[in-house]
Structures are given as structure tokens and as C-alpha cells.
Amino acid sequence: MPLTESNAEPPFDVLRVSHVELGVRDLDASRAFYEDALGMVVTAEDERGMWLRGLEDTCHHALLLRRESPGKCLRIGFRVRAEADLDAVARYFEGRSAEVTEETPRGQGRTLHVHDPFGTPLAFYHRQDAVERHLQRYDRYRGAAVQRLDHVNVFAAELQETYDWLAGELGFRVSEYTETAEDTPRLWAVWLHRKGNVHDIALTNGVGPRLHHVGMWVRGEMDVIHACDVLAASGMGAAIERGPGRHGISNAFFLYLRDPDGHRIELFTGDYRTLDPEFAPIRWDLDDPRRQTLWGHAAPKSWFDEGSQFEGLEPRQPRLPVRPVVAR
């Protein structure tokens, strides 16, 4: 596959994927999972929801749990580099006849709500409220000690088109990708970033758009192991869906969890920098089992099939009907 040229002068400058809004049923159950087992910090809670951040965050929230539409993903948040970029966002989407709604949500500056060309609900903003950083409050570290949000991974029904839009229009850059083993290989999955590590957003071929998982950054392998021990000791052991193990792609040491509403969370550590121009995207063959799992066990079927639907969006069958061989 000829990789799309990343747009070096995108219409606006996306800094990073910066928060996710998830629908949940029971905030107490969510708090036990995210605060006690994952070690995230609760910034605020009200009758509508709960705002959480990582231990190193000075931003108001990396995760917004809304007490509505349990199991749905309500929105993905994109940071832009400057306030002026927000005007460019408005121009860009309005120029494509997309509806743009402006709001100022709790804990966040001026925000533009839009849908991407595939129907995914997005929020664009430049800043959140600054709050106290707990990075050196080691006396409060718990469980996985999540430091920050790293990325999102979504199922894309129109994978090539979604990728073309993110890279060719918005200037996302490819770090790694998977192709089918055909004579004319087709793109099966792709890892895209703006912030200079492996990804801000990854696309996987599948029934979509749906959210596959939210990736949370942890300091190292020992925090992942401690999270497993704490989950087991707290009666939440069933939350562990896959891992721990190491991905060939991204080199990440991973653990996949399902939160009390079924949203998938990845604890993630161990990727690398992608800033240098001589870094070339890494190609993986869809049939290479080391791609998914450098070591560790085959993913369960749920991991391939299940994801959080986006609110108000009916997922579509993938254009590319190929599935990976489930390893071993």
C-alpha cells in the first residue's frame, strides 16, 4: 500500500488526543474501578458525571464519565495548539457543511462539537482548567497509578478513508501499520500520532466507527502487575480481558480491562519516540502473529469483536471483510 502523505500544513494544528467521554450507569462502581484500581484522580463529581485525570496531569480531565447512555462513547476530545486553531477548526468543518456547536463545558475552555466525516462525535478545544498535579503525591498512589491518557483506538468500517482523512487532511503521521498479505495489499490497521510517540489514534478494520479502547499511560510493568493484584484482591478480577503481554506493534507492555460498563481500557507502557524524519513507518503482515503479541497469549474473541458504540451513530460493516488469523 502506498501510504498517504501526511499533510505537512494541516488546516489546524492538533496537539494530541486529550480526553474521552464515556456513558456509565453507576458512578460508585466506576469510581471503585478508576480511582481505587487504576489510581486516577477525581477532579470533580456532580449529578451529571465525574471528571478524572492522571497523576501527572495538570489538565482538568482525561476522562469524563457521564451518567447517561451507559456503555456508549459520547465523544473524543482533540486539543489544538493555539486558540486561533479553534477558528480554523470552525472554518474547516463549516466549509464542509458540517454542523459546529460551540460550548464551554465544565473544566474546559471554548469547545467546538462536531462529527468527523464518518460520524464520530469529536470535541475540539485549546485548553482545560489547570488543576493540581499529583505527580509527586506518592502517598496517594494507588493501583495502576495511571499517569495520563495516551491514545484511543477505534474500529473503522471505512479504514482507508478514515486514515486518508486523518493523515492527508489533519496531518496525523503514521508510526506502524498492518496490511493484508494480498498481491495488492490493503491497509488493515494503522497507528497515527501528532504528539511524537507511537499514537494518538489507532484505526482497526471492523464494524465501526466504534471505540475499541482508551489507552492510559502507566510508569512501567510493575504498575501493571500491581493493578492485576489489586483488581483480584478487590473482587474486580473479571475486569481483566487480555494480558499482560507485549505487542509487537508499538512494543507496548499491555493489559486490557473492561470497566463496569464494558468500556475497554488499556494500561500501556514502553513505546518509543517518532519525531525524527528518518524514522520510517513499520509495516506488519496481517498474518504475522508477533504483530499482535510479541509474547503472551492469543487475544480472546471479545477483544476482536466488542467495542463501545458512539452515541447516535449506527456502526457499519467494514468494507474490508478480512479478519486476522487468531494466533495459535
Residue ranges in contact with a second copy by CB under 8 A? 8, 15-16, 18, 36, 56, 58-59, 79, 82, 126-130, 135-141, 147-148, 195-196, 219-222, 225-226, 228-234, 237, 240, 244-246, 248, 251, 253, 270, 272-273, 275-280, 290, 294-297
> Half-sphere exposure of residue 294, counting CA atoms within 13 Å on the CB side?
11
Q: Specify the residue, 306 or 311, whose C-beta has the smaller distance to a second copy.
A: 306
Backbone angles phi, psi at 200, to 5 degrees: -105, -35
Distance CA 173, CA 157 (A): 20
| CB of residue 110 to a second copy, shortest distance in Å | 13
| CB of residue 145 to a second copy, shortest distance in Å | 10
| CB of residue 248 to a second copy, shortest distance in Å | 7
Q: Specify the residue, 212 or 242, whose C-beta has the smaller distance to a second copy.
A: 242
Q: Can you give the length of the chain in residues?
A: 328
CB neighbourhood size of 177 (10 A): 22
Query: Helices marked H in the chain — which ranges?
Result: 27-31, 83-94, 159-164, 221-233, 289-292, 301-305
Q: Specify the residue, 72 or 247, whose C-beta has the smaller distance to a second copy.
A: 247
Q: Specify the residue, 196 or 312, whose C-beta has the smaller distance to a second copy.
A: 196
Q: Specify the residue, 7 or 234, whose C-beta has the smaller distance to a second copy.
A: 234
Q: Specify the residue, 118 or 141, whose C-beta has the smaller distance to a second copy.
A: 141
| CB of residue 207 to a second copy, shortest distance in Å | 24
| C-alpha dihedral (299, 300, 301, 304), degrees to nearest 10 | -40
Pairing state of beta strands 282-285 and 173-179? Answer: parallel
CA 95 → CA 11, 71, 87, 103, 275, distances in Å?
12, 33, 12, 20, 31
| CB of residue 221 to a second copy, shortest distance in Å | 5
| CB of residue 88 to a second copy, shortest distance in Å | 16
Query: Which of 53, 228, 210 lies closest to 130, judged by CA?
Result: 53
